[in-house]
Amino acid sequence: MSKSPIAPPESDLLPAEQVSGAAIGQEKNPIKRLFRILGPGLITGASDDDPSGIGTYAATGAALGLSSLWMALFSLPLMAAVEFICAKIGLVSGLGLSGVLRKYYSRKLLYPIVAGLVIANVINAGVDIGAIAAAINLLFPAISIAILIIPIAIFILVVQIWGSYRLISRIFKWLTLALFAYIFSAFFAKPNWGEVLRGTFIPSFSFDSTFLATFVAILGTTISPYLFFWQADQEVEEEISMGRKQPGQRTGATDQELNYASWDVNIGMLLSNVVMYFIILTTAATLHTAGKTHINSATEAAEALRPLAGDAAGLLLAVGLIGAGFMAVPILTGSAGYAVAEAFGWKAGLDEKPRKAKRFYAVIAAATLVGMLINFLGINPIDALFWTAVVNGMLAPPLLIVIMLIANNKQVMGKRVNGRGINILGWVTTGIMAAAAIALVLTLHK
């Protein structure tokens, strides 16, 4: 029995362990087969390049120049390993991370993790809403940023609450195309390609505060806790959209399903890091070279690029920023909604009608509206992002430890516990993130 997008009657469904991805495998056209494989992993990878991430990459290129390009290659295997582990947990257990923690672990562990995630996500979503408005203002200066904030937030909320999972997923897939604007913009910057190659393949590391803070920010924005929750939850949503509404129907995963998930995740993370690479390249080749080494936001980077790399590069960055923001905000608020709903055992899911999952959608609405209000409270967006990074930096290492323990727990994963290779990469990532958190604390005390 294949995984058909049209679900058979629930009584006829087999557990996921018994269901192969034959429908995908039988697709003759390799391009069509690839697009059928791409889903949660692609969207997760693309959402990693949200406006706050884009601002971090732009600031890195401006501050450190082309010598920081190697960071994009360094982070790729780390984030790919973590996201695949999260995808596998969702596929095998049939639950999101909060659901697994609630079922198998202590509530004393669950609630602080969920609280920290929600706080960080709300702040991040608010800053991203402001960034979308600022990017639209760059394209249409006559429209003030303040006027745009509320319509943007309401539009995102309406799509989340009244759109189906399939509709939202399809919109997200198309929005990933906006990220290619960052790749194209790099060629308008006319970099020194010899320096580009050197910065890409020869790591440059130092222990001064500027470099250390930047390195921590790169790790914090690429390997972020909200992505862990979103990846696992969207694997579950894919199963539910096929008709597997009960956890028992989703338990287990075939080799083929895990292979498809691996392709999906790896392509998504590759896209994320390619975009990171070209943003750093563009700002390094223009802003850093021109002596403008301090950038506070992605929109400031887009504006600063215009006189240096031409209007085309600045406009491309602004367009990409709008697309990335419209994808990232609902993922930030949605992952908060999933985490809270699963933590308390509430009905959750983007395919659920609002009247059947009131508390799930109430969390999403509250997260969006509070995030929106941040833009009217006079809070410095850079300070807000900094404290978001602090929360994420503190939250990621213990959460990664928990994720690795889950992935090696036979009660949860059965025979699908981590193999040696993915275990080594997962624990190395956890160690690096822990070291980054310690470095962040030391930076705070300076």
**Quick check: 6 pLDDT over 90?**
no
pLDDT at 247: 66
pLDDT at 10: 37
Segments of 129-263 assigned E as strands: none
In a domain, 114, yes or no: yes
Give the count of domains, the chain: 1
What range defines the domain where residue 313 resides? 30-444
Nearest Cα residue to 252 out of 416, 373, 28, 29: 416
The H-assigned helical ranges of 291-419 are 298-309, 311-344, 358-374, 381-407, 410-413
Q: Which residues of 363-401 are buried (b: 16+ CB within 10 A; e: fewer)?
A: bbbbbbbebbbbbeeebebeebbeebbbbbbbbbbbbbb
> Looking at residues 407-433, what average pLDDT do you find?
93
Nearest Cα residue to 67 out of 188, 210, 181, 268: 210
pLDDT at 236: 85
Nearest Cα residue to 335 out of 179, 124, 35: 124
**Quick check: 17 pLDDT over 70?**
no
In a domain, 113, yes or no: yes
- pTM higher than the cut 0.85: no
Token pair for residue 77? 């295997």
> Looking at residues 127-142, what average pLDDT do you find?
87
Question: Per residue in 342-383, pLDDT tens?
Answer: 999 999 888 788 888 899 999 999 999 999 998 888 776 666
Instruction: Give dist(CA 143, CA 226) in Å, integer.
Output: 32
Nearest Cα residue to 276 out of 230, 207, 220: 220
Reduce the DSSP state of residue 297 to 3 states and report it. coil
Question: Per residue in 193-248, pLDDT tens?
Answer: 899 999 999 988 877 777 777 787 788 788 888 889 989 988 888 887 676 766 66
pLDDT at 381: 64
The gap between the terminal CA atoms of the chain, to the nearest Å, is: 60
Instruction: Give dist(CA 219, CA 403) in Å, integer.
Output: 17
Token pair for residue 277? 């690479």
pLDDT at 183: 78
pLDDT at 383: 64
**Quick check: 251 pLDDT over 90?**
no
Alpha carbon 267 to its chain's center: 13
pLDDT at 201: 93
In a domain, 92, yes or no: yes
**Quick check: 174 pLDDT over 80?**
no
In a domain, 393, yes or no: yes
Nearest Cα residue to 205 out of 389, 295, 70, 76: 70
Burial of 20 (0-12, 13-18, 19+ CB in 10 A): middle
Which residues fall within 8 angstroms of residue 307, CB to CB, at 6 or more apart?
none
pLDDT at 79: 92
pLDDT at 22: 47
In a domain, 63, yes or no: yes
- CATH code of the domain covering residue 191: 1.20.1740.10
In a domain, 408, yes or no: yes
In a domain, 118, yes or no: yes
Question: Per residue in 181-190, pLDDT tens?
Answer: 777 777 777 7
Question: Per residue in 64-118, pLDDT tens?
Answer: 899 999 999 999 999 999 999 999 999 999 888 999 999 998 888 999 999 989 9
pLDDT at 92: 92
**Quick check: 339 pLDDT over 50?**
yes
In a domain, 25, yes or no: no
Mean pLDDT of the chain: 81
